[in-house]
Structure 1
Amino acid sequence: MSNFLYLFRGGDEAYGKLSQEEKQAHMQVWGEWMGGLKEKGQLLDGLPLGEDGKVVKNRGELVTNGPYAEGAEMVGGYLIVSAKDIDEAVEISKGCPIFDYDGSFVEVREILTMDEH
């Protein structure tokens, strides 16, 4: 088994247009999906990320407000899942509720150990 990072991108604009009740219902869908992964021992960690941040360049010589990615490129959260290989990790990601919004996607990346790098 290996660990994989899911980076969730986009969907914030469509989510922002939902009513409070729709947002709560969608968060329940996320909770059910993540709960299912946890029950199977596949969910290791994961949280949403705040909209604001800082970009640090040149060892701190330049610190700017950010990130400055376009809406569809903005990383909104992450999960770490356990899967036998990247193909299984991709299959697991297909059930992600982020796909309820147009233009959203999940980047699936294997987490390597330092000696694999």
Structure 2
Amino acid sequence: MSNFLYLFRGGDEAYAKLSQEEKQAHMEVWGKWMGGLQEKGHLLDGLPLDGDGRVVHNGGELVTNGPHAEGAELVGGYLIISAKSLDEATEISRSCPIFDYEGSTVEVRQILDMEDHV
């Protein structure tokens, strides 16, 4: 088994327009989906990310407020999952609730061991 990172992008604008009840219902869908991943031994970690942050440039010499990406490009959250292969990790991502919002994406990346990457 290998570990994979899901980076979630998009959907923030559509989510912001929902009523409080709709937001709660959508978060319950996320909870059920993530609970299913955990029951199957896939979910290792994951949380939403705040929209504010900082970007550090030039070896720390320059720090700017950010991130300043287009809404669909802004990373809104992440999960770390365990899967047999990139293909399996990709297949698991297809049922993600982020796809309830048009234009949303999940980037699937394998997490490498530093020892294997040297």
Q: What letter corresponds to residue 78 of structure 1 in structure 2?
A: Y
Confirm whether residue 83 of structure 1 aligns to residue 59 of structure 2. Answer: no
Q: Compute the TM-score of the two structures, normalised by the length of structure 2.
A: 0.98
1:79-105 Cα shifts (integer Å, max 9, x gaps): 000000000000000010000001000
Q: What letter corresponds to residue 47 of structure 1 in structure 2?
A: L
Please, which runs of 5 or more residues in structure 2 have no aligned partner? none
Partner residue in 2 for 1:42: 42
The aligned length equals 117
Partner residue in 2 for 1:27: 27
| SS of aligned partner of 2:95 | coil
Partners in 1 of 2:116 and 2:24 — Cα distance?
A: 41
Superposition deviation, residue 60 in structure 1: 1.2
Partners in 1 of 2:79 and 2:114 — Cα distance?
A: 20
Runs of 4+ in 1 over 2 A off after TM superposition: none
Percent identity over paired residues: 79
Q: Compute the TM-score of the two structures, normalised by the length of structure 1.
A: 0.99
Partner residue in 2 for 1:63: 63
Partner residue in 2 for 1:99: 99
Q: What letter corresponds to residue 104 of structure 1 in structure 2?
A: S
Confirm whether residue 11 of structure 1 aligns to residue 11 of structure 2. Answer: yes
Partner residue in 1 for 2:109: 109
Please, which runs of 5 or more residues in structure 1 have no aligned partner? none
1:9-57 Cα shifts (integer Å, max 9, x gaps): 0100000111100000000000000000001110000000001000000
